[in-house]
A and B are shown apart, each in its own frame.
Chain A
């Protein structure tokens, strides 16, 4: 899996396309994102939090999206911004989807160890700021910000 890197204003970004149903490669983008963040000089706890967010987002694209989507990670002087976007089917009840333990995962995903109903909650929990926008039949965009420096990692 190859990500494309580019500069955006004052941030450096890397973007990956993730295919729906591509279990075999599930997690590879996140592995590369975590490695890139560490190469970029970010501390292990911060790279780990960003890696968890990316991983949950990546698996959500694989398990739930109609046609896959993208994960974009941008690093500026203060924050790591992780954006996960798909183009459907959208989430009917976002508050319910954020509830720990709630899951609509199909059986094949549960067999792989997913569908604990913790994915979105994990993303929110590991982010300093979390936003989710979803419309039925249009898609879902999740944006998470992780501070580059935290009290336990500076």
Chain B
């Protein structure tokens, strides 16, 4: 799914545009950022209602491809400026998280996978 399709589907508003063409095929939804850090795979779109400054830093560390703020939430200008610098598109929608998840899933976006971790802990 690309941004124009997502905006139409979610009746969303684009707050920060992408630097490059973005394709969203996986997503993860959570308000707790440690859950996001624990469970997201590469190339994930984040669906969240949390607007703290840490959202964009988590997105940077995880290489999140786009952030969708639900329930009409809008992050601060500082977050938007940081997103612009990183080239991470930011979308806000009035719809709730459950509905956004359902709409995206119905249109082919899949859940992100839990990242496999090494089973054996090698000694240093």
Give chain A's interface residues, CB within 8 Å of chain B.
23-24, 26-28, 30-31, 34, 44-45, 48, 51-52, 55-56, 59, 78-79, 100, 111-119, 121-122, 125-126, 128-130, 145, 147, 150-151
Contact = CB atoms under 8 A, between A and B. Distances in A.
Contacts of B42: 45
Contacts of A117: 34
A111 B41 CA distance: 24
Contacts of A59: 54
Nearest to A120: B34
Contacts of A30: 57, 61
A28 B56 CA distance: 10
B37 A118 contact: yes
Contacts, number: 91
Given A44-B63, A122-B34, 10 more contacts: A27-B57, A34-B60, A48-B63, A55-B57, A59-B54, A112-B33, A112-B52, A115-B34, A116-B34, A147-B122
Contacts of B124: 78-79, 128-129, 145
Interface of B: 31-35, 37-38, 42, 48, 50, 52-55, 57-58, 60-63, 117-118, 121-124
B54 A129 contact: no
A118 B122 contact: no
Contacts of A130: 121
A61 to B, nearest CB: 13
Nearest to B36: A113
Nearest to B53: A24
Contact of B34 (A23, A45, A114): A114
B62 A48 contact: yes
Contacts of B117: 125-126
A26 B34 contact: no
Contact of A122 (B37, B48, B118, B122): B37
Nearest to A24: B53
Nearest to B52: A112
B37 A55 contact: yes
22 contacts: A26-B53, A27-B53, A28-B57, A31-B57, A31-B60, A44-B63, A48-B61, A51-B61, A52-B62, A55-B61, A113-B34, A114-B34, A115-B32, A115-B34, A116-B34, A116-B38, A118-B38, A126-B117, A128-B118, A129-B123, A145-B124, A151-B118
